[in-house]
């Protein structure tokens, strides 16, 4: 309930300036709590695992917008695996030189 309330607070606050930066790990950690009702029977994994000790990876955008992108992508993945016997979604964080890649595998 607290996570949902925090998300609603973000929606009503003024947008950050264009030079805002968002932590990818933080945004990804918030998504499962928002989509939990849809993820009941789905094996969901973020690799490497995100812990409180995970070094932040920043991108240039607003926190809320990044979370919304992840919600949309993972929501689409949930739709894609809905008819599977053993639905599984893996979010892979890959860091090639000078760029980060986020793969959502179903």
CA atoms of 64 and 32, how far apart (whole Å): 15
Please report the pLDDT score of residue 100 as a whole number: 66
> Are the CB atoms for 41 and 87 separated by under 8 Å?
yes
DSSP state of 82: T
pTM of the model: 0.74
CA atoms of 90 and 32, how far apart (whole Å): 12
Please report the pLDDT score of residue 74 as a whole number: 94
Each residue's pLDDT expressed in tens, for the chain with a length of 106 residues: 666 666 666 655 655 556 688 888 888 888 888 999 999 899 999 888 877 777 777 888 888 889 999 999 999 999 999 999 999 999 988 775 556 677 788 7
Q: Which H/E stretch holds residue 43?
A: strand 43-47
In CATH terms, 19-105 corresponds, of 3.40.120.10, 3.10.310.30, 3.30.565.10, 3.20.20.10, to 3.30.565.10
Please report the pLDDT score of residue 54 as a whole number: 76
Domain ranges for the chain? 19-105
Copy the structure tokens of residue 82. Answer: 């809905």
Pairing of strands 43-47, 88-94: parallel
């Amino acid at each position: 309930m607290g996570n949902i309330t925090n998300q609603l607070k973000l929606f009503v606050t003024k947008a950050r300036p264009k030079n805002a930066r968002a932590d990818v790990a933080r945004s990804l950690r918030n998504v499962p709590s928002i989509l939990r009702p849809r993820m009941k029977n789905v094996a969901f994994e973020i690799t490497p695992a995100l812990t409180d000790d995970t070094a932040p990876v920043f991108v240039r955008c607003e926190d809320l917008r990044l979370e919304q992108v992840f919600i949309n992508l993972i929501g689409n993945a949930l739709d894609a695996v809905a008819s599977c016997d053993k639905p599984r979604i893996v979010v892979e964080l890959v860091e090639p030189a000078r760029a980060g890649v986020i793969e959502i595998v179903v």
